[in-house]
Chain A
Amino acid sequence: MTAANENAELIETDVVIIGAGPCGLFAVFELGLLDLKCHVVDILGRAGGQCAELYPEKPIYDVPALPVVTGQELTDRLMEQIKPFGPEFHFDERIDELTREADGRFRLVSDQGTVFLTKVVVIAAGGGSFTPKRPPLDGIENYEGSSVFYSVRKIESMRGRDVVVIGGGDSALDWTLSLQPVAKSLTLIHRRDEFRAAPHSVEKMRALVAEGKVRLAIGQVTALQGDGKNLQSVTLKTGTGEETLPCDAMLPFFGLTMKLGPVANWGLNLNENLVPVDTERFETSEKGIFAIGDINSYPGKLKLILSGFHEAALMAQAASRIVNPDKKVLFQYTTSSSSLQKKLGVK
């Protein structure tokens, strides 16, 4: 147990939903109608999952009754729809451990040390955890954590180092600006002399380049040199040739990719990085752990948002029977049920 865990709060709840994409969000709604209280954990810093991360401004045409909706609009509407149920969100957190307690509940521990005790787990993790892309450079994994970083927790840790930042977006530019004052040298490498980052950051960077405080190199890193643990230099390939650039801290920013991540370690049956479920409850091989949305598989599965919504509704019925085994669930419509309307805050 780490120090963080000892100090961390313990959260007891009915349901922990892993993933705040559209299916995870709609699960809050369906579970909420059945009086189940949800905590939602997501590795990203906001709700929406792929919809918000990959295509916030791109139109989706196959959500029933919405002829066209963008990923961000869909997320915003779902957030509004689930508001009455007061879900608690834990962003920028990843559930790393899942174990079953003696009383049948699940103990979940996040990478930030938050501990959940929950009766039901809903895995709505889509394509998996969004993780930084690792440039396919030979031996790079040996340098991760010592010389290669995808984020920096302490700026001071970069003091006096020869820093190389790669990329042309906001992350690359923001880290260039904040690390330059402490770094021994800072080189920003990008494949072209155009940047996607916010214009004011680009201006600041160009000013630092003009003052000789930052070097901007248009090119790509093609190889790493070091002792297998600490990086000493990188090979920079530009339009005019190759050079060896001293570097003991490299920060590559090539966006995010999806990896199954810790879900693979929880003892669930897996099939080609997907979680097989039944089509009545959408339950995994472990009772009380459900999987909905893109991450599950069953005969005929379609990775559509609307399929995930359906899965959320059926899962909620089964989850309710686990949390409240003695309670009779009366099937009701939101249109006519005054008790459902009360829960929704419309009556």
Chain B
Amino acid sequence: MAKITFIQPDGSSQTVDADIGLTVMEAAKLNNVEGIEAECGGACACATCHVYVDDAWRAATGKPSDMEEDMLDFAFDVRESSRLSCQMKITAAIDGLVVRVPAKQF
């Protein structure tokens, strides 16, 4: 188990317990986190599970792959900390991860 915290644009936050091996997107969907749409179901094909990784966790979560970087072109208001949550596997190393949900996924 790992704890993942999702912070909404209005500042409210939700911390969920997620199984190691799931993706951050799956953890969000399982817990009905608002603002994570994941229209394509996790195929890295729609960019509607976009999140901003908290600065403290950027090193631990690593960088997007080329495919993810390409798909981020379809997200809005992409920043240095942008990731697609379907491409972030939950490991013990990111227990406590904090991500922010963008104001709009499109």
Binding site for B on A (CB under 8 A): 50, 54-55, 58, 127, 133-136, 167-169, 190-192, 194, 196, 220, 222, 254-255, 257-258
* Cα–Cα, bound, A125→B5 (Å): 35
Q: A191-B78, A220-B77 in contact; A257/B43 too (CB < 8 A)? A: no
Min distance, Cβ A272 to any Cβ of chain B, angstroms: 14
19 pairs, CB–CB < 8 Å, chain A vs chain B: A55-B45, A58-B43, A58-B45, A135-B76, A167-B73, A168-B73, A190-B73, A191-B73, A192-B69, A194-B69, A196-B73, A220-B76, A220-B77, A220-B78, A222-B77, A254-B74, A254-B76, A257-B106, A258-B39
**Beta-carbon contact of B106 and A254 below 8 Å:** yes
**Beta-carbon contact of B76 and A136 below 8 Å:** yes
Q: A168-B73, A190-B73 in contact; A136/B78 too (CB < 8 A)? A: no
Q: B66: nearest residue on chain A (CB-CB)?
A: A194
Min distance, Cβ B86 to any Cβ of chain A, angstroms: 12
- In the complex, which residues of chain B have a beta carbon less than 8 angstroms from the beta carbon of A258? 39
- In the complex, which residues of chain A have a beta carbon less than 8 angstroms from the beta carbon of B69? 192, 194
- In the complex, which residues of chain A have a beta carbon less than 8 angstroms from the beta carbon of B106? 133-136, 254, 257
Question: How many B residues face the partner with a CB closer than 8 A?
Answer: 19
**Beta-carbon contact of B46 and A54 below 8 Å:** yes
Is B63 an interface position by the 8 A CB rule? Answer: no
Min distance, Cβ B33 to any Cβ of chain A, angstroms: 18
**Beta-carbon contact of B48 and A257 below 8 Å:** yes
Is B47 an interface position by the 8 A CB rule? Answer: yes
* Cα–Cα, bound, A190→B69 (Å): 13
* Cα–Cα, bound, A55→B42 (Å): 11
- In the complex, which residues of chain B have a beta carbon less than 8 angstroms from the beta carbon of A167? 73
Min distance, Cβ B73 to any Cβ of chain A, angstroms: 5
- In the complex, which residues of chain B have a beta carbon less than 8 angstroms from the beta carbon of A191? 72-73, 78
Min distance, Cβ B62 to any Cβ of chain A, angstroms: 18
Top 8 nearest A-B pairs by Cβ distance?
A: A136-B104, A255-B74, A54-B45, A133-B106, A55-B43, A54-B40, A168-B73, A254-B74
**Beta-carbon contact of A133 and B74 below 8 Å:** yes
Min distance, Cβ B59 to any Cβ of chain A, angstroms: 21
Min distance, Cβ A312 to any Cβ of chain B, angstroms: 21
- In the complex, which residues of chain B have a beta carbon less than 8 angstroms from the beta carbon of A133? 74, 106
Is B30 an interface position by the 8 A CB rule? Answer: no
Is B34 an interface position by the 8 A CB rule? Answer: no
**Beta-carbon contact of B39 and A255 below 8 Å:** no
Min distance, Cβ B75 to any Cβ of chain A, angstroms: 8
Q: B45: nearest residue on chain A (CB-CB)?
A: A54
Min distance, Cβ B68 to any Cβ of chain A, angstroms: 12
- In the complex, which residues of chain A have a beta carbon less than 8 angstroms from the beta carbon of B39? 127, 257-258
Given A194-B69, A255-B47, 18 other A-B residues pairs in contact with their CB atoms under 8 A: A54-B45, A55-B40, A55-B43, A58-B43, A133-B74, A135-B106, A136-B76, A136-B103, A167-B73, A191-B72, A191-B73, A220-B76, A254-B106, A255-B46, A257-B39, A257-B48, A257-B106, A258-B39
Min distance, Cβ A282 to any Cβ of chain B, angstroms: 22
* Cα–Cα, bound, A134→B78 (Å): 15
